[in-house]
Amino acid sequence: MVETTPKEIFRKSLERCTQSSEFIPTFYDRFVASSPEVRRKFAHTDFAKQNKMLLRSLKLAAAATAGDSEGLREITERAESHDRHHLNIKAHLYELWRTALLETARRFDKQWDTATEAAWKTILGHVIRRMIKFY
């Protein structure tokens, strides 16, 4: 039996989730509702643009964990745009982001299991650590 990496499990799960055009909007509904602070941060957001950006970032996040230069560049650009000098996204907000993504993916991925959840946590954890490092 071939061992599947967290990166591969995450990518396949993300593909299943994004078969529905409602995946990303549902995530943002959940995330924005998670706290007044998040709601304020997104008060003037163009969600059509934001949805596309998040989807691109999620697709490249898995690649970044394997050292892919395009994936690392994308995550670094997001980290810089979210740092204290730009969007000022504080560390505690990333846990709300992660929770909302996990809950949404769990709902949309009909093959969700413990390995899938672990893969999402691994990939998102990598992204969050990078975001916080650049804060």
Whole-angstrom distance, CA of residue 41 vs CA of residue 1: 46
For residue 119, the one-letter residue type is A
For residue 80, what pLDDT is reported? 78
Q: Which letter, b or e, does each residue of 73-96 get, where b requires 16 or more Cβ atoms within 10 Å of its Cβ?
A: ebbeebbeebbeeeeebeeebbeb
Query: Could you confirm whether domain 6-134 is CATH 1.10.490.10?
Result: yes
- Domain ranges for the chain: 6-134
What six digits make up the tokens of 75? 């995550």
**pLDDT tens digits, residue range 63-110?**
877 777 877 788 788 877 777 777 778 888 989 999 999 999 999 999
Q: pTM value?
A: 0.87
**pLDDT tens digits, residue range 18-56?**
999 999 999 999 999 999 999 999 999 999 999 998 998
Q: Which letter, b or e, does each residue of 30-54 get, where b requires 16 or more Cβ atoms within 10 Å of its Cβ?
A: bbbebeeebeebeeeeeeeeebeeb
- Cβ–Cβ < 8 Å for 60, 75: yes
Dihedrals phi, psi of 8, to nearest 5 degrees: -70, -40
